[in-house]
Structure 1
Amino acid sequence: MNNRSLDKFRLKNCAEPLVDLVVQAGQKEAVRRLARPLRFLILALCVFFSPFGFAQPTKLTLSEVVQMARDQSISARQAATTKETKYWEYRTFLSNYKPQLTLSGNLPAFSRSFIEVRQPDGTIQFQPVRNNNSSLNLSLSQSIAATGGSIYATSQLQRFDDFDRKNTLYNGTPFAVGYLQPLLRFNSFKWDKRIEPLKFNESQQTYVESLEQISLRASGLFFDLLLAQVNLQIAETNLINTQSILKVADEKYALGKNTRNEILQLQLELLKARKAVGVSKRDLEMASLNLKAYIGLQAEGKIELETPDQPVALALSSERAIGEAFANRADAIAFGRRTLEAERAVAKAKGDNGLNATLTGTLGFSNRGITVPELYRRPQDQQTVELQLDIPILDWGRSKSRTKTAQAQRQLTQYAVEQDKQNFQQEIYTQVTLFEMLRDQLSLTVQADSIASEKYRIAQDRYVLGNLSITDLSISFTEKDQAKRDYIYALRDYWGAYYKLRQLTLYDFETESKLK
């Protein structure tokens, strides 16, 4: 049952007993006829005076806020869209290694012009030409990653129409198979097959890291609002306590038991307390709007956050955290991917600098005729073998320079990867140490908060009895408030470090499971 349905249910239960009571009290028929309008009147009064009303505050825990941000925030949708984009990019890569069926052609290919025709005596004549030279080609090809070549099968049909002479001819290749193989050249298929799966896996882990970054951000906004909520509670409590103490001080002043200076000091404290309430309400509203906007909460009204419980003790070690990070993080995959890309650049520089050759061979059948069926009657054998060469003879050291540049860049990449690995490990080690320190600090702030609250209660009682000065009471005020805020700050630091550790390792140490 949602909040609105729950409110209607409560209001109905509020109105119905009152209406029944009026109907039972009045035995006249007129009262019974007025029962329905009376019910609506009482229902409206219940709405007006109801403590719960339709604007019931939304109560949320830290885990609920984090989950809402992961499910429905704009950042989560952006991360999901990026993940989907990388998925289709990977599917595009995989399609390069699948058979490709292609239909190409020129339909029509009409031409009407004057062409140059050399005569037997060496002169030039321009003869009018009107023809249509159409063609269709159906081919099936398959790339071979190991060699970088491709095997293909093809079927071709060509039609030539001479409109001046009213003549039609057909030429075609019913069937032919061939193989194209680059020689001593860079094989992009082989390198892509090693690198693209790493890029895809990297994108999947990047998505998980993005969700953990969202969790970290949501937890920060949660504690911003929780701190504003606590500050408002402190300010309102201090306002009530200051008013009570000022009342007691006025009575004592009337009896001559304290000075005018103490009254003025309390009046000043009362003004500060009222100002603090106003500032806290403003901060609460701003923090609430920021949290709602980030987690995509459309509910109206106030949000009430529940203070997280004391966290359970987690068994952590730097070695284990670093191991999980290398097994799960996108950066760990990127280390290998960057090294392979540098190796690919060197291989490409070497492959493009030397002898470049392409061998093409085709075996099939071909024929010609004045009709299409004649092409398939006793076709003639067709064989083609072609070797294309590209040999640089004099390039003034360009080939060597490109190779040396790629090798130097590879060495630089290796150094950068080694440095990034060290930073990677150091960051996790520092985070584990920080997490354990903040866990201990949280335990101390819990004790400090309890002591400060008890000290304030004692100071308040002593002041009423006349055993404590207003200055000492103000100090107790300040210590109590600061201890409460320190506790919320300690909770925030702890949970921030917890979600940061999850992001750095992509591992949940509480459930002992890999994050997905």
Structure 2
Amino acid sequence: MNFHIMMRRNFLRFAICLNLGCVFVPFLFAQTKIVLDLQRTIELANDSSLEAFRVRNLYLSGYWEYRTYKANRLPSITLNATPAEYNRAITQRYDSENDVDVYRSQQSYFAYGNLSVKQNLDWTGGTFYVNSNLSYIRSFGATDATQFTSVPLRIGYSQSLLGYNAFKWEKRIEPLKYEKVKKQLIYNMEAVSEQATTYFFALAMADAKYKLAQDIVASSDTLYRMGMQRHKIAAISQADLLTLKLDLVNARNTLQNIAISRKRAMFALASYLGMDKNTEIQLDLPGRPHEISIMVDKALNLAKENNPSFLEWKQNVLEAQQALDKAKKESRLNASFDASVGYNQVADNLSDAYRRPMQQELVSVSFSIPLLDWGVSKGKRNMAHNNLEVVKTSSRQGELTLEEEVIMTVNDFNIQQSLIASAEEALDLSILAYNETRQRFVIGKTDINSLTLSLNRQQEAQQNYISALQNYWLNYYKIRKLTLHDFASGFSLSEKFDYNLNSRW
């Protein structure tokens, strides 16, 4: 293997440092150690993080809302009953013999039961129903009486003739809402992946700075010792020796500060992944990714097809149109129709209450006409109309913003691939340059300023390389989130979700 590549990998391999200092020794003995690469980090985040738990429950809430809508489209069977009702009171009655109203004491026992089957019809907005009921009443007092009344069967249909049809709008909106909920889950899980990537590379950057700070401390210590020896033979000045000592002190202080930042980054990643807070995480940094070419037009089409925001904007427009339709129809003539046919009977005993029932028929047509409401209905219509225009405008603005975000993210991603190669080359050159400068300083052919400048360039090159990797993977998972599509495999995340849904829930 090429010597330079080996050196670069040594600089970028984030091994657990055994010489963290005595202040961290008791803590390390109590820690659990784990090695994570980027893919494993994302898998743990999607499986165990609190955010993943939250978004799954958001999905389940929408899922059961849709199940409720579907259930409302099926026949419902309801039993209503009043098994016992006792009443003792003094009531006003008319005495026909004396032509006066009198108060009389009355006691009664009442029981009632009703079994009803209903079916809502989306295309008409009406309700078809079948029911049967039985009532029992017994009066106590001067005259005892017992009666049963039954409706063995009644079939009917009720319909709003000119009014607002809520069922029709629900049929258009509810399936769209559930489709949005499904894709919102995928979107949110990809956002979890994106956030996990941010935490991963935050620790990777802190880890790289910590490893480099350790190397700087070791190098500064070596150079200071060499400087003291050279100062004894007057090879360097007192000012240069003091500069070397200052570099050593600053390097040690920097190492302590970086160790604190590294621990915070490690704690943040462990907490996000649902791990124990004392977990010691060693990262396996990904190498240069395979080159993926993403076309902007394809990404835009996939975003319009899959992104839940487009479905939400469409839902908002439909709901605004629904509100306008309701305001219009409730402000004018409203007529309803109800018709039923069945049988009923009354008798002193239960068996006779079902013998030779008489036919029962009901036809009812009612309407209401607002004659004067001082502009209330007109105001509601205008508000609903204006709200619809606002929603349409907001939806269009949201679409333009999202399209711009997709275009910029794809362009950044495509550029970032070349930046990784450039940053990698710069890192190799900075390592070679520093080693060469260090050797020249050892033999006295360069000064301390050149060595410090070379070390700073190496540190900057290393950070730029990790930043390039971070930006690449953040843009990659952001594109997955925006389009719900995996461009690396060419697989739709929506299809993958349907498979996981059946297997998990």
Displacement of 1:123 after TM fit?
2.2
Looking at structure 1, the residues matched to 174 and 29 of structure 2 have their Cα atoms a distance apart, in angstroms, of 58
Pairing of 1:430-509 with structure 2 (within 5 A): 430-509=408-487
- The alignment covers a number of residue pairs equal to 465
Give 1:398 shift. 2.6
Q: Are 1:235 and 2:235 counterparts?
A: no
* Equivalent position SS for 1:131: strand
Deviates more, 1:139-148 or 1:300-309: 300-309
Residue type of the alignment partner of 1:109? E
Unaligned runs of 5+ in 1: 1-51
Aligned to 1:64: 40
Change (3 A) 1:411 1:169: same
Match of 2:177 among 191, 199, 215: 199
Q: CA–CA distance in 1 between the matches of 2:235 and 2:122?
A: 98
Give unmatched runs, 5+ long, in structure 2. 1-27, 498-505
The code of the aligned residue for 1:110 comes to Y
SS in 1 for 2:343: strand
Deviations 1:296-352 (A, max 9, x none): 123854211112110111121110001111111101212321221121112111221
Selected match of 1:108 from 75, 84, 88: 84
Deviation of 1:125 (Å): 0.7
Question: What is the deviation of 1:96?
Answer: 1.1
Query: In the alignment, is residue 132 of structure 1 matched against residue 109 of structure 2?
Result: yes
Residue 199 of structure 2 corresponds to 221
52, 70, 78: which one pairs with 1:76?
52
The secondary structure found in structure 1 opposite 2:111 is strand
Displacement of 1:53 in angstroms is 8.8
Corresponding residue number in structure 2 for 1:85: 61
92-101 vs 297-306, greater mean Cα deviation: 297-306
Paired letter, 1:501: I
Q: How high is the TM-score relative to the length of structure 2?
A: 0.89
Partner residue of 1:288?
266
> Which residue is 1:9 aligned to?
none
Q: Which amino acid aligns with 2:42?
A: V
- For 2:240 and 2:107, locate their aligned partners in 1 and report how far apart those are by CA, in whole Å: 114
Q: Report the Cα offset of residue 415 of structure 1.
A: 1.9
Q: 1:460 to 1:420 in 2, by over 3 A?
A: same
CA distance in 2: counterparts of 1:476 and 1:75, whole angstroms: 43
SS of the aligned residue for 1:181 comes to: strand
Deviation at 1:106, TM superposition (A): 2.1
Distance 2:394 2:138 in 1: 65
Are the aligned partners of 2:84 and 2:110 in contact in 1 as well (CA < 8 Å)? yes
Superposed CA offset, 1:23-49 (max 9, x none): xxxxxxxxxxxxxxxxxxxxxxxxxxx
CA contact (8 A) 2:30 2:278 kept: no
One-letter identity of the residue aligned with 1:505: T
The percentage of aligned residue pairs carrying the same residue is: 27
* Corresponding position of 1:267: 245
Structure of higher CA gyration radius: 1
Structure 2: distance between partners of 1:307 and 1:142: 60
CA contact (8 A) 2:293 2:414 kept: no
The 3-state SS of whatever aligns with 1:129 is strand
Work out the CA distance in 2 between the residues paired with 1:214 and 1:54.
29
Which residue number corresponds to residue 5 of structure 2?
Answer: none
Cα distance, 1:133 vs. partner?
2.5
- Give 1:156-195 correspondences, 5 Å limit: 156-164=133-141, 165-195=143-173
**Secondary structure in structure 1 of the residue aligned to 2:84:** coil
The answer for the alignment partner of 1:27 in structure 2 is none
Equivalent of 1:328, from 306, 309, 318? 306
1:497 deviates by: 1.5
1:174–1:375: 8 Å Cα contact kept in structure 2? no
Partner of 1:420: 398
What is the rounded CA distance, in whole Å, between the counterparts of 1:287 and 1:215 in structure 2? 17
Displacement of 1:278 after TM fit? 1.1
Q: CA deviation at 1:208?
A: 0.8
> Relative to structure 2, which stretch is displaced further, 453-462 or 123-132?
123-132
AA aligned to 1:144 is L
Cα distance change of structure 1 residues 479 and 309 upon mapping to structure 2, 3 Å threshold: same
Contact 2:88 / 2:105 at 8 angstroms: preserved in 1?
Answer: yes
Task: Indicate whether 1:278 and 2:266 are aligned.
Answer: no
**1:412-459 C-alpha deviation (Å, 9 max, x unpaired):** 222222222211211111111122222222222111111111100010
CA 301–199 in structure 1, closer or farther in 2 if over 3 Å, else same: closer
Work out which structure has the larger RCO, using CA pairs closer than 8 Å and 6 or more positions apart in sequence: 2
Match of 2:334 among 328, 351, 356: 356
User: RMSD of aligned C-alpha atoms?
Assistant: 1.6
